[in-house]
Amino acid sequence: MFLLVILFFTTLIALLSFAKPLEADDLKDRNPAIVLATHGTTDPVDLVDLLSLENRIKDAFPCYDIHMSFMNRKILQVWRDRAKDSNFKKYFPQVSERFYNIKNPIATLGLIQDLGPRLVLMQPLQLIDGPEYHDLVSIVENLRKIKCFDRYDVPFPWIGLGGPALGLGDGQKENLFRVANALAYLFNQAKELKAAVVLIADLNGGVNPGVYNHLKLVLRNNYDCEIHVGLPESRQGIREILGKLEKKLPPPGPILMAPLTLVMGQELREDLNGPQPDSWVNLIKASGYSVVTHMEGLGSNEIFSEIFVETLKRLEEAVSRRYTD
């Protein structure tokens, strides 16, 4: 976070140095912008999920310039290194050139602002309000505080931040039901198989997993099925889940396992379905259960992507009021 703050103020100085004054009719001639901020991925397979989500948002906001940014600096460095790797480009020709130059949210905002002030919507592509989400909150709040002698010189006069997929505060209940609806296809399959469902979420350090417990209750109320949410980085690991399952659904099961993440990511894919003895799939099999896997991220799920679309529509309505302020 400290490095992020330093980068923020370094970029901010550059922004103010090149800020263009806002003329009376500028906003009519300049498209508003949406920044999709995600943790990022190094796996080319996962880009399909991100692009699918991005295209859904483009369809819903045809007058907006859409920008995607990655938040994790290590992932960003991997793509910078790959920009010079001819062998990687040869084996993955489907990867768009823009991913080799993808930037973090602050740098992306700098490129947007360099064309002049306009309405900017920042949408986090996260499920919960973890550390990365709160980093974005800090960035947007600080940008809103920038004041200039002439109000037309303010670099970000209209900027807003959307919420994570599982919602915030009073809006969380509605979002949980939306997520439950987006997962209906999984539970239809589980019903046919007479299987229990284990969803695996990516839990960032320092985050209270309570929201996933709330989601589990909503899912159990909506679907007549044994459901568990696994959190590899917390106590809710596969061994704990298996202990609970044995009381409700003894072997051989089956168990339907699927990720509760926007993209799978190579690390999560290996943890869940890798060849090592302690992967989740192999631990389930070693306990006598049969297992069915559905290893796809939620980015390509059209019903799930609609959650971000609706969040952006509400954010657009709130932020656009500032045009008349």
Whether the bond into 164 is cis, omega within 30 of 0 = no
Instruction: Tell me the mean pLDDT in the region 161-176.
Output: 90
Block residue for tokens 């990687």: 88
The pLDDT of residue 290 is above 90? yes
User: Could you tell me what percent of the chain has a pLDDT over 90?
Assistant: 58
| Among the listed residues 2, 35, 27, the one whose alpha carbon sits nearest the alpha carbon of residue 140 | 35
- The DSSP symbol for 105 reads H
Residue 324 vs residue 221, higher pLDDT: 221
Instruction: Tell me the mean pLDDT in the region 8-20.
Output: 46
Residue 238 vs residue 35, higher pLDDT: 35
Question: What beta strand segments (E) does the chain contain?
Answer: 33-38, 65-70, 120-124, 159-161, 196-201, 227-230, 255-260, 291-293
The fold adopted by the segment(s) 173-294 is: Rossmann fold (3.40.50)
Instruction: Tell me the mean pLDDT in the region 223-250.
Output: 83
Could you write out the DSSP letters of every residue in 273-324?
Answer: H-SSTTSHHHHHHHTT--EEE----GGG-HHHHHHHHHHHHHHHHHHHGGGG
The pLDDT of residue 236 is above 70? no
pTM for this predicted structure: 0.86
Per-residue pLDDT tens over the stretch 91-135: 999 999 999 999 999 999 999 988 888 899 999 999 998 889 999
Out of 65-79, 80-94, 109-123, 233-247, pick the least confident: 233-247
Residue 133's alpha-carbon distances to 82, 138, 156, 258, in angstroms, are 27, 9, 19, 24
Instruction: Fill in the amino acid letter for 29.
Output: D
Block residue for tokens 């509605």: 174
Residue 324 vs residue 250, higher pLDDT: 250
- The DSSP symbol for 95 reads S
Domain boundaries defined on the chain: 2-125+130-163+302-324, 173-294
Q: How far apart are CA 314 and CA 312, in angstroms?
A: 5
User: Could you tell me what percent of the chain has a pLDDT over 70?
Assistant: 86
Residue 270 vs residue 177, higher pLDDT: 177
| Among the listed residues 218, 227, 230, 234, the one whose alpha carbon sits nearest the alpha carbon of residue 261 | 230
Tell me, what's the pLDDT at 149? 85
Backbone angles phi, psi at 17, to 5 degrees: -70, -30
Question: What CATH class does 2-125+130-163+302-324 carry?
Answer: alpha beta
The pLDDT of residue 241 is above 80? yes
Out of 47-51, 107-111, 231-235, pick the least confident: 231-235
**Summary mean pLDDT of the chain:** 86
The pLDDT of residue 256 is above 90? yes
3-state class of 228 per DSSP?
strand
Whether the bond into 32 is cis, omega within 30 of 0 = no
Tell me, what's the pLDDT at 49? 92
Tell me, what's the pLDDT at 306? 96
Tokens of 50: 């991100």
| Among the listed residues 174, 144, 171, the one whose alpha carbon sits nearest the alpha carbon of residue 156 | 144
Tell me, what's the pLDDT at 8? 52
